[in-house]
Chain A
Amino acid sequence: MFEFDFTLRNVMLGAALLGVSSGVLGSFALLRQQSLLGDALAHAALPGVCLGFLLTGSREPLPIFVGALLSGALAAGFTMLLTSRSRLKTDAALGASLSIFFAFGLVLLTFIQSRSGSGQAGLEAFLFGQAAAIVPSDVRLMAVVAVAALLTVALLWKEFKLLTFDPQFAASLGFPRLPLELLLTSILAFAIVIGLQLVGVVLMAAIIIAPAAAARQWSDSLGQMVGLAALFGALAGVSGALLSASGRGLATGPLIIIAASLIALASLLFAPERGLIASAYRARGARRELEQQRVLLDMYGLAQQHSDPSYPSESGMLRALYGGSPEAQLRRLEAAGLAEHTTHVPGEGTHYRLTEAGWARAEAALNSLGHHA
């Protein structure tokens, strides 16, 4: 029991570190419209992981982290070279370097596995993560990397913000664009190596993008967004770890990714300003308002033609003018005190007439449309 809790604690700590750092750095990647960069860096880490193992012959985290960082940086540099020296756009260049580096990594991986006698390899854990194998020394290294990444962001907050919003203006002020971009990319690679053992290279992109995308939905300030993304990332990490501990045979990495994606999905739907539901609701409100106004103006027009502000319009006539069924709109106008129904001649259909408030509202609406009553 103790051992289980001990492992779980390590995994939870590691997952929280991963969530916080990928949330923070993912926010910058997202705002720079470079979400795919996280994916490319993660996949490109694989050959570095394998080379780190091949050179040292052990699964010690340090050489593997360093290898992953170096091959990630190499891939980022390769991408920059492709975009600046060829006519390839960034997305195509990222896609190209992602698959080239990943393919090379898979070749190395199968080569390592085919070598007899190296039973301790188990490097395929870095493809999809293997949280249970995490030991305290791994967590310590993750913590060092995370603190280094977060500290850099805190120190260069103003510079990174300007670089992300307006890189040309930043350069005109004398902030060196290329070195700053390289630095931001390298610390994104830091976040990725933290996640190597937990979620693996294949699924890493989601933990970079999802918390940031979720946070953007809830906030209109960069500071809040980054803070929220860190929180969402940590939440996803910890809940993924707890969920996988609660059942047998549930892999931690994928669960973390699912948790992060659920947070993002919920945010896309339910956020108050930018959420899909809120904007659909606003669109419906605006449509109703317009329909209601149309009926109101029809009644106003009829009343003016008859030179009688309280002219009772028959609902059948309004239907003909409106071209649909205006009953719902009429009921709403009545509820808002803008119209009232009345009997004109017994046996005819229902009649409606404008109240004084309705008359005033119609004139105001016409005025705002540029007509003068």
Chain B
Amino acid sequence: MPQPTPRHEPNLALHIEDLTVAYNDKPVLWDIDINVPPGVLAAIIGPNGAGKSTLIKAVLGLLKPSAGHIYLHGEPYAKQRRRVGYVPQRSSVDWDFPTTALDVVTMGLYGQLGWLRRPGRAARTKALSALEQVGMADYAERQISQLSGGQQQRVFLARALVQDAQVYFMDEPMAGVDATTERVIIGLLKKLREQGKTVIVVHHDLQTVATYFDFLLLLNVRLIAQGKTSEVYTAENLRAAYGGQIALLQTAQIPQTPPTVAETV
């Protein structure tokens, strides 16, 4: 009599234990343990080569870890695909591909449609409303190569919205976008959090990270720190993650020690 496999850490949106990923024998992620509670807006930060994108790709099963396990709401990714949304780096695709913004957004529904079935009118309606949410309704029929970088990023975001997921992973959605797009994106991320969803974002801008996100994962091949922004956004942790590069920051803005409980309340 086969027992149903017990769910592992079902109360965590993302649970990673002992994760190691290596490219050509060189570890990119080393012995990572991560626990992200549901309903937070989390940022993954760390210097170039810290393994931020690799972490997301490992979670989504796009590359095979050398060791460790990853659970989303208590189940491995293969069982949770329909509850996970993904925004890859904008530069990972060729935007000269012959298609429209609406069509790209519709691709977010391909997983729900499954094999062979084609998107119909319902899919079109969903895709249009997602485009509207990112302020791109007027560009639905626009050829994607004619969109600006920020508009392309919003199309990618709309594609993730139609996935209607519980947990979202976004790889640098605010890299190289204009101020308008950044406002639209952060507004949307907060709305997703209000709906009780978990959003995990690779972020590169240390100036905005504390205002945008309430949960942080500091990464540099190893996990440096994780937790509420108010607790882990400290000069000490940033220095540990970024090393000498931290000199570039206005360290004055960053608390030297974690605020005491009295301060945060």
Seen from chain A, the residues whose Cβ lies within 8 Å of a Cβ on chain B are: 31, 33, 155-159, 161-162, 164-166, 168-175, 216, 219-222, 224-225
Interface residues of B in 81-102 (CB under 8 A from A): 81, 84, 86, 88, 92-94, 97-100
Q: Is B98 a contact partner of A166 (Cβ separation < 8 A)?
A: no
Task: Give 9 nearest A-B pairs by CB, closest first.
Answer: A173-B111, A172-B60, A172-B86, A220-B143, A166-B93, A165-B97, A174-B81, A220-B98, A225-B98
Among A157, A166, A216, find the residue whose CB has the most chain B CB atoms closer than 10 A: A166
Q: Which residues of B contact A220 (CB under 8 A)?
A: 98-100, 143
Among A157, A158, A171, find the residue whose CB has the most chain B CB atoms closer than 10 A: A158
Q: Which residues of B contact A169 (CB under 8 A)?
A: 86, 88, 107, 159
Give the distance in Å from the alpha carbon of A219 to the alpha carbon of B96 in the complex. 12
Does B61 belong to the interface (CB within 8 Å)? yes
Does B247 belong to the interface (CB within 8 Å)? no
With contacts A165-B104, A165-B107, A222-B99 known, is A158 near B92, CB below 8 A? no
Among B98, B110, B117, find the residue whose CB has the most chain A CB atoms closer than 10 A: B98
Give the distance in Å from the alpha carbon of A31 to the alpha carbon of B144 in the complex. 14
With contacts A171-B61, A174-B81 known, is A166 near B88, CB below 8 A? yes
With contacts A162-B107, A173-B81, A174-B81 known, is A168 near B88, CB below 8 A? yes
A162-B107, A222-B98 are known contacts; what are 9 more A-B pairs with Cβ within 8 Å? A169-B86, A169-B88, A172-B84, A174-B78, A219-B98, A220-B98, A220-B100, A221-B98, A222-B97
Number of A-B contacts (CB under 8 A): 71
Give the distance in Å from the alpha carbon of A199 to the alpha carbon of B115 in the complex. 36
Q: Is A162 a contact partner of B62 (Cβ separation < 8 A)?
A: no
Interface residues on B, range: 20 to 34
Q: Which residues of B contact A172 (CB under 8 A)?
A: 60-62, 81, 84, 86, 88
Question: Distance (Å) between the CB of B111 and the closest chain A CB?
Answer: 3
Give the distance in Å from the alpha carbon of A161 to the alpha carbon of B61 in the complex. 21
Q: Which residues of B contact A33 (CB under 8 A)?
A: 94
Interface residues of B in 106-145 (CB under 8 A from A): 107, 110-111, 113, 115-119, 143
Q: Which residues of B contact A158 (CB under 8 A)?
A: 110, 113, 116-119
- Annotate B155-168 by CB proximity to A: 1 below 8 A, 0 otherwise: 00001000000000
Give the distance in Å from the alpha carbon of A157 to the alpha carbon of B2 in the complex. 39
Q: Which residues of A contact B62 (CB under 8 A)?
A: 168, 171-172
Give the distance in Å from the alpha carbon of A220 to the alpha carbon of B60 in the complex. 31
Q: Is A221 a contact partner of B116 (Cβ separation < 8 A)?
A: no
Give the distance in Å from the alpha carbon of A222 to the alpha carbon of B78 in the complex. 30
Q: Which residues of B contact A174 (CB under 8 A)?
A: 78, 81, 111
Q: Is B97 a contact partner of A31 (Cβ separation < 8 A)?
A: yes
Q: Which residues of A contact B111 (CB under 8 A)?
A: 173-175
Q: Which residues of A contact B94 (CB under 8 A)?
A: 31, 33, 165
Give the distance in Å from the alpha carbon of A251 to the alpha carbon of B31 in the complex. 64
Q: Which residues of B contact A216 (CB under 8 A)?
A: 98
Residue of A nearest to B95 (CB): A165
Give the distance in Å from the alpha carbon of A9 to the alpha carbon of B88 in the complex. 51
Give the distance in Å from the alpha carbon of A171 to the alpha carbon of B119 in the complex. 18
Residue of A nearest to B77 (CB): A172
